[in-house]
A and B are shown apart, each in its own frame.
Chain A
Amino acid sequence: MSEELFTNLAIFVLSLLVGFEVMSKIPATLQTPMMSGANAIHGVVVVGAFVIAAEANSWVFYCLAFFGAFFAAVNVAGGYTVTDRMLGMFDRKPAAKKEDDQK
């Protein structure tokens, strides 16, 4: 096994353990936003889209790079936006109530 593969494997296994550990019991209210937030994090695949676009050198590879960039950008940009919108619902409540009171 090469040193590079071993390093990556170690990082992978330890990150899995961190993932298991960081996700203890969370309130049901936050489960949907949490899923959406985790979904946005795997949008990091966009970094990979940059890497392959830099190596593309024929039309097959350009096509693949295009779809990689498009898919990853939808994932990362949409993921963070919709998560923020959902979580914004919770903390804009006091302000919205004041508006209602004024009516």
Chain B
Amino acid sequence: MSALQTISSLIYLISAVCYVLGVHMMRSPKTARHGNGLSAVGMFLAVITIIVTIIVEGKIDAIGWIVLILGLALGILYGVVKARKVPMTDVPQLVSLFNAVGGGAAAVIGIFDYLLKGDGASLSIAFSLPVLLDVIIGGITFSGSLIATGKLSGHVSGKPITVPGARILNIIVVIAILASAWFMIGYPTNIWYVILALAMSLVFGLLMTLPIGGADMPVVVSLLNAFTGLAVAFAGFVINNQVLIIAGALVGAAGTILTLQMADAMNRSVANILAGGFGTGDSDTSSAADAVPVDVKETSADDIGLQLAYAQNVMIVPGYGLAAAQAQHEVAELAKVLTDKGINVNYAIHPVAGRMPGHMNVLLADVNVPYEQMKQLDDANPMFESTDVSLVIGANDVTNPLARESGNEISGMPILDVDKSKSVVVIKRSMSTGYAGVQNPLFSMDNTQMFFSDAKKGLQDIVASTKQYLE
């Protein structure tokens, strides 16, 4: 080992330690930001090390420098601008986009080394197998994450999309992937083998994510994130670089656990989600069958304004519908109008409210909702007994009292005890069920009133009428 190799290996080791400690610190809200910072320091060290390494080795030519610097500069510019400008509601799809390009980069490295080291000759299985895994997993996450981005942003329909004969198509694609694997491992290198592997992986990524509904996308994004980690680790095998192996495997394993936890919090199983074709989550996708007339009391913005103006304690229960309608500004305004008049306002935030677990906290924090007003499930539930009005905005399953009973799809799921408050107002677009597909008896309870409206529009009307009664 040369001096350069020794030093660079040691620095890579330090950066790997930074990633592990960074992830560790990100488990607690107090240290999370520093954890991310520490992980960024590790990344900085790794990049400095590779820059010094390629300069000292001197193999890189002028065009190599140009494409490298151009690619990096454009990438940094695009990534940073996107990350700074994106509205907080659109963060999930941006994370998915960043994940897609990470998978793409890993696949590119695999293709590069296959073509360069192979050059028409036969490769050992020890080399071609990691290349194969790198290209296939990288390709799947690239196209799969792009579809997930599209679904979350609405460019691709959030409804499960199934093509006729999908099962047969899937089988054909899997056979084609296996065939490309057979050729890449057992035969002298040929550019068409790796192109076939890449193309089929891209198709597989599409087929895998298209049939999954929009509401399940967070779990899918997290799963694909773990996949990208593995692709990066295999890229590390290909170019024999340990920092890629360590960081990739770390993300692969940690991402898998995170995916299971997310699915668990949403009361779904990963296998169910991947089987696809279930929930859609978007409240505007209600079918006629969902709109069965149930005995509910409808109310108006004017009446809700009156109730709020004469309440002592108000609990706001935000859900997916609020995030989808981007109504967080309106809800914060309503809360401000009420608190200015001395009315207690709190937010009861279910762990999976919003588009992703924890996303609702980010959305509300973005519109300057005081942190003390955001109550998590365990703190919020005892407060409902003394709540005069619970305002449920675009939330459904997380308030369903059926979860306390056994024998239905949501049995045992932790819920917010909204039904215990004196009065409940539900703002919702229609009577459609949530993504669990279960009717919610909360809506037909005696102390519940329904206000059918888009969250944003409805809240604007309520703010106007509340102001009128408070003045």
Interface residues of A (CB under 8 A from B): 1-2, 4-5, 8, 11-13, 15-20, 22-57, 60-91, 93-94, 96-97, 100
A-B CB contact pairs (8 Å), 28 listed: A11-B242, A12-B233, A23-B23, A23-B27, A28-B351, A30-B27, A32-B91, A35-B258, A43-B43, A44-B232, A45-B102, A54-B60, A55-B59, A56-B61, A64-B111, A69-B67, A69-B68, A71-B102, A75-B79, A75-B105, A77-B79, A82-B86, A84-B33, A88-B33, A89-B362, A90-B33, A90-B361, A90-B371
Chain A interface mostly: helix
| Contact of A68 with B112 in the complex, beta carbons under 8 Å | yes
Which residues in A have their C-beta under 8 angstroms from that of B291?
A: none
Q: How far is the CA of A84 from the CA of B116 in the complex (A)?
A: 38
Most B CB contacts (10 A, CB to CB) among A8, A38, A46, A62 go to: A38
State the Cβ distance, A60 to closest chain B Cβ, in Å.
Answer: 7
Q: Which of B207-249 contact A (CB under 8 A)?
A: 218, 221-222, 225, 228-229, 232-233, 235-237, 239-249
Given A37-B39, A74-B98, A26-B251 contact (CB < 8 Å): no
Which residues in A have their C-beta under 8 angstroms from that of B97?
A: 78
Q: How many A-B residue pairs have CB under 8 A?
A: 400
Most B CB contacts (10 A, CB to CB) among A43, A57, A82, A93 go to: A43
Which residues in B have their C-beta under 8 angstroms from that of A37?
A: 22-23, 26, 35-36, 39
Given A31-B357, A44-B244, A22-B252 contact (CB < 8 Å): no
Which residues in A have their C-beta under 8 angstroms from that of B116?
A: 52, 55, 61
Most A CB contacts (10 A, CB to CB) among B75, B218, B265 go to: B75
Chain B interface mostly: helix
Across the interface, name the chain B residue whose C-beta is closest to A5: B126
| Contact of A75 with B102 in the complex, beta carbons under 8 Å | yes
Q: How far is the CA of A20 from the CA of B261 in the complex (A)?
A: 12
| Contact of B225 with A65 in the complex, beta carbons under 8 Å | no
Which residues in B have their C-beta under 8 angstroms from that of A60?
A: 115
Which residues in B have their C-beta under 8 angstroms from that of A68?
A: 71, 105, 108-109, 112
| Contact of A35 with B50 in the complex, beta carbons under 8 Å | no
Q: How far is the CA of A17 from the CA of B20 in the complex (A)?
A: 11
| Contact of A45 with B23 in the complex, beta carbons under 8 Å | no
Which residues in A have their C-beta under 8 angstroms from that of B59?
A: 54-55
State the Cβ distance, B107 to closest chain A Cβ, in Å.
Answer: 9
Across the interface, name the chain B residue whose C-beta is closest to A78: B79
Which residues in A have their C-beta under 8 angstroms from that of B365?
A: 89-90, 93
